[in-house]
């Protein structure tokens, strides 16, 4: 894997933890969902994440919100817009053009073998419908393991497994595990996660908030270890330095080093280069 620019991974005790570029950016001040950043990531073999919303014509657009007003220069529900409607719009945070699924498919042909792009689906299966699934099959059915699809709707992940079996899949049980751990304890949380790992979604990766991971570990429940024992990788989300230029504060360092000791496969961050730089300042190579 190439190591320039920084922000690809951290190595600790021989374990490689990838730094995932959250919302296609390398810093909190950078534009959201930048095609330029994605092209860079494809060139150097980065792990990246973007959000997808279904359009009115069954295709998709890289956006988080259900309505255009929040993130773009447009108006109205995303799911009522066509590709033509969206082509002239820009992202408010940075003024970059919107990325459509057709653009993604074209850019994926340039991807480094180590590149991994997470499609975080923000609509459920019912909203996406048969037209949306057919679009995914047409444009990404042969994309292989350079894409991982995640969603809050487990029915959608099962549908992805059935329609696009070559794509990796991810699930995020964080919200329910937080409640179970607090109300029923570590044993119940362990059993619930184990049920998900062995369930119909057959996940490749489990997305867990890093505070949950540390809270569970403090109660003698190694969520990352449990996932590894069952053949799943773990992405710990989302760790952002409060002061990227200054590096880790002492409390941040205590948290992040404890997280690294549990050997996550990936950490989601909006500050990948700064995080790698801060790590090396504390633990020189």
pLDDT tens digit string along 234-269?
Answer: 999 999 999 999 999 999 999 999 999 999 999 999
pLDDT at 224 over 50: yes
**Residue 136 contacts residue 122 (beta carbons within 8 Å):** no
- Across all residues in the chain, what is the average pLDDT? 95
- Token pair, residue 84, equals 């033509």
pLDDT at 18 over 70: yes
User: Please, which pLDDT band fits residue 216 given cuts at 50, 70 and 90?
Assistant: very high
The whole-model pTM stands at 0.94
User: Please, which pLDDT band fits residue 144 given cuts at 50, 70 and 90?
Assistant: confident
Give the separation between CA 254 and CA 138, rounded to whole angstroms.
46
Average pLDDT over residues 129-139: 98
Q: What is the pLDDT of residues 109-120, one digit of tens each?
A: 999 999 999 999
- pLDDT for 55 equals 98
Q: What is the pLDDT of residues 71-88, one digit of tens each?
A: 999 999 999 999 999 999
User: Please, which pLDDT band fits residue 62 given cuts at 50, 70 and 90?
Assistant: very high
What is the DSSP track for 240-257?
--SSTTT---HHHHHHHH
- Token pair, residue 142, equals 């042969």
What is the DSSP track for 142-201?
T-GGGEEEEES-HHHHHHHHHH-TTSEEEE--HHHHHHHHHHT-HHHHHHHHHHHHTSTT
CA nearest neighbour of 265 among 55, 47, 60, 2: 47
Q: Which residues pair with 102 in a beta bridge?
A: none
User: Please, which pLDDT band fits residue 3 given cuts at 50, 70 and 90?
Assistant: very low
CA nearest neighbour of 131 among 40, 232, 56: 56
267 to 47, 48, 70, 117, 285: CA distances (angstroms): 10, 11, 27, 14, 20
**Residue 109 contacts residue 97 (beta carbons within 8 Å):** no
Dihedral pair phi/psi, residue 6, rounded to 5°: -65, 165
- Token pair, residue 244, equals 């990227």
pLDDT at 284 over 80: no
**Residue 81 contacts residue 73 (beta carbons within 8 Å):** no
- Token pair, residue 73, equals 């220069």
Range with the poorest average pLDDT among 3-7, 10-14, 195-199: 3-7
| Cα 128 versus chain centre, distance | 19
Average pLDDT over residues 152-170: 96
CA nearest neighbour of 180 among 219, 139, 126: 219
Which of helix, strand or coil describes residue 54?
A: strand
Share of residues in the chain with pLDDT > 70 (%):
98
Give the separation between CA 97 and CA 36, rounded to whole angstroms.
10
Domain 9-282 annotated CATH 3.40.640.10:
no
- Token pair, residue 41, equals 């990531």
Q: What is the pLDDT of residues 38-50, one digit of tens each?
A: 999 999 999 999 9
pLDDT at 1 over 50: no
Q: What is the pLDDT of residues 22-39, one digit of tens each?
A: 999 999 999 999 999 999
């Amino acid at each position: 894997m190439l190591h320039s620019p920084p922000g690809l991974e951290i190595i600790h005790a021989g374990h490689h933890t990838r730094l995932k570029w959250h919302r296609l950016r390398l810093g909190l001040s950078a534009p959201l969902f930048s095609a330029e950043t994605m092209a860079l990531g494809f060139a150097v073999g980065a792990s990246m994440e973007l959000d997808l919303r279904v359009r009115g014509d069954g295709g998709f657009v890289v956006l988080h919100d259900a309505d255009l007003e929040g993130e773009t220069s447009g108006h109205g529900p995303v799911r009522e817009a066509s590709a033509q409607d969206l082509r002239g719009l820009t992202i408010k945070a940075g003024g970059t053009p919107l990325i459509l699924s057709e653009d993604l498919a074209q850019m994926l042909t340039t991807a480094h073998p180590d590149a991994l792009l997470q499609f975080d689906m923000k609509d459920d299966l019912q909203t996406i419908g048969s037209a949306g699934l057919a679009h995914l099959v047409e444009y990404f059915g042969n994309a292989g393991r350079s894409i991982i699809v995640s969603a809050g709707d487990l029915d959608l992940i099962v549908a992805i497994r059935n329609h696009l079996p070559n794509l990796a899949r991810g699930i995020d049980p964080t919200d329910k595990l937080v409640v179970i751990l607090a109300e029923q304890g570590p044993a119940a949380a362990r059993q619930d996660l184990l049920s998900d790992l062995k369930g119909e979604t057959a996940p490749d990766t489990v997305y867990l908030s890093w505070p949950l991971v540390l809270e569970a570990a403090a109660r003698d429940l190694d969520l990352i270890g449990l996932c590894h024992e069952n053949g799943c990788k773990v992405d710990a989300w989302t760790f952002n330095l409060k002061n990227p230029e200054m590096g880790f504060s002492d409390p941040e360092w205590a948290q992040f080093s404890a997280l690294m000791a549990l050997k996550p496969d990936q950490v989601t961050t909006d500050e990948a280069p700064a995080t790698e730089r801060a790590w090396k300042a504390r633990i020189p190579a």
